[in-house]
Amino acid sequence: MTFFTSSLLPVTSRLRDLAPAYVLAGLLLLALLLSAPAARAQQVLLQADVAEDTIPNRTGPNRRYFGHLYGGYSLAAGPSALGVKYGFAASELQLGGRLKRRLGPFFALNTDLRYAYLRYGLDPGASRPGPFGTGFDNQYFSYHQVQGEASLRLSPYLRRGNTVGRYLDLLAYGGWAFATTYATTGPGPSGGRLEIVAHQPDYLARWLGGVGVRLGSNSLALVGRYRLSNALRGPGLPEPPRWQLGIELGWF
């Protein structure tokens, strides 16, 4: 009995020496098991973009709403019996803003508000009826207008990202000429130069409007317009060219 007890003493002593190591290993394993779900949850949070806005973006070139500024310049084209001087002397400058409302993947509605300066220079060598007359070195008439425009946009490309892309607009426009001018420059009766300027003459129309088409890609577009209204009022006055061909450049 004494021999059996003495033989167990070394084993018991070894177990007492190993007990702290087993306890420490068990605690470490328990800590790893408890931290595994937290680590997985933390990994999901790290993959998410916490700075991203949770409110959907409704504005942008290919979003529901998009507004921008633009400028346009066009030249008069087409026949006219008025004796118009073509080129830069007969042109229109436009500065305005456009709001686009997307109706679906392929269609959108545009509304424009702009300022337009329309000017027709007259050929001094051409004969024309009064009140314009002949014998002047330089003569022109012009319109300062506030114009509105509505257009239906067709965008055939569905996968274009958040860009305007390529489009075709069918448009109708109209505006009020808040200032009209007819000016001539020629030799004076007693020598020298004589300049005559008539503001708001009765024979220049105050309302102008028409239809057109716009073909564009992103910020650049080609525009053609046809004026349906008469630019001159009075019997026997031939009309200036009704066509306008030009470009538009959007700012966005």
Indicate whether 134 belongs to any domain: yes
Indicate whether 125 belongs to any domain: yes
Q: Tell me how far apart the alpha carbons of residues 124 and 190 are, in angstroms, rounded to a whole number.
A: 21
Number of independent structural domains in the chain: 2
Tokens of 209: 């409007």
pLDDT digits (tens, 9 = 90+) for 24-73: 666 666 666 665 554 444 444 445 554 454 545 677 777 889 999 999 99
Q: Tell me how far apart the alpha carbons of residues 63 and 252 are, in angstroms, rounded to a whole number.
A: 14
Backbone angles phi, psi at 123, to 5 degrees: -70, 120
Residues 137 and 201 placed together within one structural domain of the fold: yes
Q: Tell me how far apart the alpha carbons of residues 227 and 177 are, in angstroms, rounded to a whole number.
A: 14
Residues 35 and 76 placed together within one structural domain of the fold: no
Tokens of 42: 């933390």
Mean pLDDT confidence for 78-87: 94
Asked if pLDDT for residue 14 goes beyond 70, the answer is no
> What domain range is 99 assigned to?
65-251
Residues 70 and 39 placed together within one structural domain of the fold: no
Please tell me the chain's helix, strand, coil percentages from 3-state DSSP, rounded to the nearest 5.
20, 50, 35
Residues 46 and 79 placed together within one structural domain of the fold: no
Residue type, 248: E
Is residue 173 within 8 A of residue 149, CB to CB? The reply is: yes
pLDDT digits (tens, 9 = 90+) for 91-129: 999 999 999 999 988 999 999 999 999 999 999 888 887
DSSP character string of 102-152: E-SSSEEEEEEEEEEEEEEEE-TTS---TTT-S--SEEEEEEEEEEEEEEE
Note the pLDDT of residue 11: 45
Q: How far is CA 86 from CA 62, 120, 121, in A?
A: 38, 8, 8
Residues 109 and 191 placed together within one structural domain of the fold: yes
Residues 9 and 42 placed together within one structural domain of the fold: yes
Q: How far is CA 28 from CA 24, 32, 33, 238, 245, in A?
A: 6, 6, 9, 100, 81
pLDDT digits (tens, 9 = 90+) for 191-227: 788 899 999 999 999 999 999 999 999 999 999 999 9
Tokens of 87: 């080129």
Q: Pick the closest to residue 208 from 170, 250, 240 (CA basis).
A: 240
Indicate whether 199 belongs to any domain: yes
Of all residues in the chain, the percent with pLDDT exceeding 70 is 76
Residue type, 16: R
**Higher-confidence residue: 159 or 61?**
61
Residues 198 and 162 placed together within one structural domain of the fold: yes
Residues 37 and 122 placed together within one structural domain of the fold: no
Tell me how crowded residue 61 is: count the other CB atoms within 10 A of its CB. 17
Indicate whether 131 belongs to any domain: yes
Indicate whether 143 belongs to any domain: yes
Asked if pLDDT for residue 155 goes beyond 60, the answer is yes
Q: Tell me how far apart the alpha carbons of residues 179 and 204 are, in angstroms, rounded to a whole number.
A: 10
Tell me how crowded residue 20 is: count the other CB atoms within 10 A of its CB. 9
Indicate whether 103 belongs to any domain: yes
Residues 155 and 177 placed together within one structural domain of the fold: yes
Q: Please, what is the average pLDDT of the chain?
A: 84
Residues 39 and 99 placed together within one structural domain of the fold: no
Residue type, 138: N
Note the pLDDT of residue 3: 45
SS3 of residue 190 by DSSP: coil
Q: Tell me how far apart the alpha carbons of residues 115 and 80 are, in angstroms, rounded to a whole number.
A: 25
Indicate whether 58 belongs to any domain: no
